[in-house]
Structure 1
């Protein structure tokens, strides 16, 4: 099957959009220092993803929607890492106290932001994220983060599985290589979420902000 035929096959089967929800939350997944340090095994060329995510973060705060940051942290013994820690050697950088696990520069948590600490790929697995969003009346999530093929994808599948309309912001996600980045964006867009642009997302958040202003006039 040629590439054009393959794309047409996907369009016939999966060319559907669910759209943004009415009460979104922004989730910023694992933007840790290790991805930005060339001496670290985690290093990836993802500066542009962080820059994009920070712009979305500002728009999210202007729109007064919840902003959630995730990080990864393990007990010094790594007993809480299970098979994930056993398999993925770079997770050793997330043992409690390692500077590579700190939030990337520019993404220091703000007082009004919620930090969710996790041990596994998904921001939802083994955490309070789903119940917190549901209790807050959130119906949809905007996902940014690292890496596209790992924790972003896992969080995307779980977000959809928990009933949230899910949008993945393409420019605000990054990976170690362009091929897995694009392949996973393609697959998430086909099956689990709408993959959207930064521009589209910020436009949506600005409309939410305008509506909020109009209600208060």
Structure 2
């Protein structure tokens, strides 16, 4: 039995072309996530897919029951892989994620998915807080441009800032090639 788990976060249709909240470089990130998922399957690691559904009736995306809220084909679960539906940025909040990991004896988690500055940040910090040895595959995560106080922040800088912060104190942050090599 393996003590490793892969947490696949919010790789959902709304983030891709034709969706309601398209991320920059999401296809390349999802392709890398698919490679990580395939490796985890080959290793017999636990794989848990996280799917966000919003609770707000006027939600801009991830509307319950919509095609946009469904897992994208590049990272879809297969039978036997748990899918956890969450309603908050942190997938541990009010879900069975922690119990699912602990019940399988997981000690190390690897994280891929969306968005770097929101749910990836939240799950990484919480995973470390819960005592898991945590790794983030930086090129298997995506985000979008942000704006604050009239300053536009390109997605590459948003992503880099969050990966640097996570690497500083919460996780090992590596590329797909480094992880698979």
- 1:107-144 CA-to-partner distances (Å, cap 9, x unmatched) read 22200211011000112111111111111010010000
**Partner of 2:9 in structure 1?**
29
**Partner of 2:107 in structure 1?**
139
- C-alpha change, 1:64 and 1:38, in structure 2 (3 Å) is same
**Partner of 1:44 in structure 2?**
23
CA RMSD of aligned residues (A): 1.6
Matches within 5 A, 1:172-191: 172-176=140-144, 177-191=155-169
Higher percent of residues as strand = 2
Q: Give yes or no for the alignment of 1:62 onto 2:30.
A: no
Work out the CA distance in 1 between the residues paired with 2:34 and 2:50: 14
Aligned residue pairs, count = 169
Work out the CA distance in 1 between the residues paired with 2:18 and 2:140: 20
1:179 deviates by 1.0
The answer (yes or no) to whether the contact 2:7–2:49 under 8 Å persists in 1 is yes
Unaligned runs of 5+ in 1: 1-21, 204-217
**Partner of 1:157 in structure 2?**
125
Work out the CA distance in 2 between the residues paired with 1:107 and 1:39: 16
Work out the CA distance in 2 between the residues paired with 1:50 and 1:136: 26
**Partner of 1:71 in structure 2?**
51
Unaligned runs of 5+ in 2: 145-154
Work out the CA distance in 2 between the residues paired with 1:147 and 1:73: 14
Q: Give yes or no for the alignment of 1:53 onto 2:33.
A: yes
Higher percent of residues as helix = 1
Work out the CA distance in 2 between the residues paired with 1:39 and 1:116: 21
- TM-score normalised according to structure 2 size: 0.88
Any idea what SS the aligned residue of 1:103 has? Answer: coil
Q: Give yes or no for the alignment of 1:194 onto 2:137.
A: no
1:103 deviates by 1.1
Runs of 4+ in structure 1 over 6 Å off: none
Any idea what SS the aligned residue of 2:88 has? Answer: coil
